[in-house]
Amino acid sequence: MLDAGPTDAAVDAGFERGTAAYYGERIYRYYCGFCHGYQGEGYRSDNANALSNPNFLRSATRTFWEEAIIYGRPGTPMSAWGREMGGPLRAIDVSDIMAYVAHWERPDPIEGLHEQVITGDRDRGWDLYLEMGCDDCHGEDGSGVTAPGVSNSWLLESASDGFLRYAIAEGRPGTDMPGYEQVLTDQEIDDLVVLLRSWATPVNREPPPPFEPDLTDPLINPDGEAASFTPREGTFYVPAQQVYDQLTEGRRMILADARAASDYLVGHISGAISLPFYDELVEEAVEVLPRDTWIIAYCGCPHAVSGRLAQALIDGGFEFVGVLDEGYYHWRDERWPITNGRERY
């Protein structure tokens, strides 16, 4: 599955065959690069931050990274990739990724950063959050608009006060995140950290019970007339409204959730099958899914992952394949039918 193609990019990048960094590069390229950028430059898909940003690397601990990869950022396109949470990566894969990202250049760590204990006033922090326009990018509830979230339970679990403070004070040069050191006093920055902290909610480390996606009964409305979609011109993106309308009219279709199974278990469109883009199940799907029925792939990001699944199906000779244009979170926010847990309906 981790076929590197005709040239071995990991070797081209200077990693000795068989080392942890060599495998890490391949894993990163397959599972991460299409959102975070192949050099960690970020933003190939919405809000996927710049992982090779020197200020980020300087302040993020190994535990911060590992928890982000294993548990993800629930409610965002960042899946829980750890096998224990229903994702595809084993502990050794995660440590290979760590060996790979270690080659990105970074300044020396800051002495004592993660031991800083910060005190401040939440209400002043809130006033500043609005005054400085943090909400324009991060949202009024901190869940992220044009930037990653700053209220996510797993972010706040993994990030020390010092990490948050450093991000606000120094920013992330080369990205949209400004540094506020020149604009705000030390105490004001602390007040903002206290505000972000006040958004923390308990995290869930509980692994879901084992789940094996399968392809039995993939059809929604099996007895209905076949759905017929018109993708946006020159693309395979199908507007969500079309899908919703035909679904509720009782037309026959297949919805394929391309995200990690960990996401599917948290919530998916009612009736969708789980078909993670990386899973061997995709090969089986090419063999067994009907070719006379539209298949709409979706993810949360809103195209990167579903686009890969759709392309695999097209490469497998399927003609009626589309990608849900606005993605899962739009569907959920419209309050169209979704379900959680293991049932499809």
3-state secondary structure the chain: CCCCCCCCHHHHCCCCCCCHHHHHHHHHHHHCHHHHCCCCCCCCCCCCCCCCCHHHHHHCCHHHHHHHHHHCCCCCCCCCCEHHHCCCECHHHHHHHHHHHCCCCCCCCCCCHHHCCCCCCHHHHHHHHHHCCHHHHHCCCCCCCCCCCCCCHHHHHHCCHHHHHHHHHHCCCCCCCCCCCCCCCHHHHHHHHHHHHHCCCCCCCCCCCCCCCCCCCCCECCCCCECCCCCCCCCCEECHHHHHHHHHCCCEEEEEECCCHHHHHHCEECCCEECCCCCCHHHHHHHHCCCCCCEEEECCCCCHHHHHHHHHHHHCCCCCEEEECCCHHHHHHCCCCEECCCCCC
Contact flag: residue 261 with ligand HEC (CB under 6 A): no
Interface map 18-37 toward ligand HEC (x if CB under 6 A): -------------xx--xx-
Binding segment for ligand HEC among 108-116, 144-152, 222-230, 279-287 (CB under 6 A)?
A: 144-152
Contact flag: residue 164 with ligand HEC (CB under 6 A): yes
Interface map 178-197 toward ligand HEC (x if CB under 6 A): --x-----------x-----
Longest dimension (CA), the chain: 66
CB of 10 to ligand HEC, least distance (A): 15
Contact flag: residue 156 with ligand HEC (CB under 6 A): no
Binding segment for ligand HEC among 4-12, 116-124, 300-308, 325-333 (CB under 6 A)?
A: 300-308
Q: How many amino acids of this chain bind ligand HEC (CB under 6 A)?
A: 47
Binding segment for ligand HEC among 1-9, 13-21, 140-148, 325-333 (CB under 6 A)?
A: 140-148
Contact flag: residue 322 with ligand HEC (CB under 6 A): no
Contact flag: residue 73 with ligand HEC (CB under 6 A): yes
Residue of the chain from 70, 118, 156, 167 that contacts ligand HEC (CB under 6 A): 167
Contact flag: residue 198 with ligand HEC (CB under 6 A): no
Q: Which is nearer to ligand HEC, 83 or 229 (CB)?
A: 83
Residue of the chain from 80, 134, 238, 269 that contacts ligand HEC (CB under 6 A): 134
Binding residues for ligand HEC (CB under 6 A):
31-32, 35-36, 42, 45, 47-51, 53, 56, 65, 68-69, 73, 76-78, 81, 97, 132-134, 136-138, 144, 147-150, 152, 155, 164, 167-168, 172, 175-177, 180, 192, 301, 304-305
